[in-house]
Amino acid sequence: MDRVVIRFAGDSGDGMQLTGDRFTSETAQLGNDISTLPNFPAEIRAPAGTLPGVSSFQVHFADYDILTPGDAPNVLVAMNPAALKANLGDLRRGADIIVNTDEFTRRNLVKVGYAVSPLDDGSLDGFVVHPVALTSMTVGALAELSVSKKDAERAKNMFALGLLSWMYSRPYDSTLRFLERKFAKRPDLVAANIAAFRAGWNYGETTDSFSVRYEVKPAKMLPGTYRNITGNAALSLGLVAAGVRSGLPVFLGAYPITPASDILHELSKHKKLGVVTMQAEDEIAAVGAALGASYGGALGVTTTSGPGVALKSETISLAVALELPLVIVDVQRAGPSTGLPTKTEQADLNMALHGRHGEAPVAVIAAKSPSDCFHAALEAARIAVTYRTPVILLSDNYVANGSEPWLLPDVQDLPDLRVDFATAPNHDDGVTFLPYLRDPDTLARPWAIPGTPGLEHRIGGLEKADKTGDISYDPANHDYMVRTRAARIQAIDVPDLDVDDPDGTARTLVLGWGSTYGPIGAACRTLRHHGQPIAQAHLRHLNPLPANLGDVLATYDRVVIPEMNLGQLAQIIRARYLIDAIAYNQVRGLPFTAAELETMLEEVCKNA
């Protein structure tokens, strides 16, 4: 086979995220291109056996370059009736369904609204169903080991992993080593999980239920060293790299919030590379500490999601007034309020652009994929330290928790972010320091570390007088400073927008930003394969926008903007460029599928 999409689904306590992650890791080692989509409840332990409690992990792997986790699974592993019912609608006819028959009890069936077992009523006749007594077979395989029945039952996810690893010819040595590390303090659990994995593998080898074994060959990829990486991990390493390339210590002030917490966890491991992390008591304290670190000469970073950005907005405005570098990472989730904290959305764009009091513009950029989070973090740091401005970096739950292969870059190819701090007076008299005397190219003010002799200057949120930084209530000065701060953002060096229009004959342009990159790209790829010319362009920089964006938009008859919100970028494009952009929006907490975008775009082109 050239590609496969597998979804593992069960209760949030069934270990589906671990199972999917291990299958993905082995697949990455084999050299396939991969893309993943974890999907789990917000509750720490959701009600067992219920539809809201279903946790799933989808992995798409192929022998060619892929852009999404896949639209419809080829294989569903359903650990109970709830997992089957919650995911059945996503399957194409003919898909393989592996069901854990031990969990299809009368009680579990009633809990999710099944009057009769779907295994017996013919409703699954359009699929290839493989009934497997996963729980009891796992318990039987571990009968001679010194583990409790409860621990034996919990190892059923490793039985499923072993079976799927056999079906798709996955290697497993690193999984066995992983289990030895994970349960190092419990040798009995090491033995139990390894035994369960081997039992699943052997079951596939010996049963008549699985007469076919599949192989997906490695993808053709650029030479180099790869690792499988999630968006949050890539973003964290991008911040570490920014610290190394700038020569600045990285300070993270963060308050735990889904789905951004993993950045705090990852950065806390890198103290040896000059990273300091502080888990603050709340969001306001976290951003205040980060801004204080920037004032002291560090690269200040704070991470959060939408609700936290709202709380941080006053301090971000203070950073605008102080004109200090600050990176604010917003890993977006579905809102408003607590909303759907483990689901994805792109609805914070308006808040990132305008969500502060007064005229307080900041730079805004967005990451398009898990591995791209590394480069987006470096770009956010470049803008922050070069232009002395807060930068909001937008990720989202889909990008943050999804994973893909990442080609490790050569450190010497990364941008040089070294900073020249102010070290001496800058007035013509040779003795006076003017904290708001600006660089003529960037309009950035000097960055003076507190305690540097002769560079004492006033700070605070009151309006600053031009050049001197003294408190000023002068109307003309305020107008000048507001316009200058806005001009500094517009002066940011942003690359021109690249357009993917292979033969140059397309009349329709699909414009996206953030995590819609993969589904849009996959849909455009399919349409071109079917002979329909279509162009794609994707925005990384959302403030300022690329200088050539207006010219690009004017080149096409139709501009379509798919977003996981109610049309926030589309409103900006319409207002600024007077383009009658076609907005295509959904807010389901799930990413677009390539198929739905393909259908929509085909209709747009047909009706033009």
Helix, strand or coil for residue 27?
helix
Which structure tokens are listed for 130? Answer: 């493989």
Which tens digit of pLDDT belongs to each residue from 361-391?
Answer: 999 999 999 999 999 999 999 999 999 999 9
Low-confidence ranges of the chain (pLDDT < 70): 211
CA distance 532 to 588: 29
- Of 217, 221, 255, 181, nearest in space to 18 by CA: 181
SS3 591: coil
Buried (b) or exposed (e) across 52-76, using 16+ Cβ within 10 A? ebbbbbbbbbbbeebbbbbbbbbbb
- Going by C-alpha positions, the residue among 323, 249, 255, 260 that lies closest to residue 293 is 249
In tens, the pLDDT along 158-184 reads 999 999 999 999 988 889 999 999 999
Q: In Å, how far are 318, 567, 607 from 404, measured between CA atoms?
A: 37, 28, 36
Alpha helices in 68-172 (DSSP H): 81-87, 106-111, 134-141, 149-154, 156-167
Give the three-state DSSP class for 176.
Answer: helix
Angle at alpha carbon of residue 220, lines to 218 and 226, rounded to 5°: 75
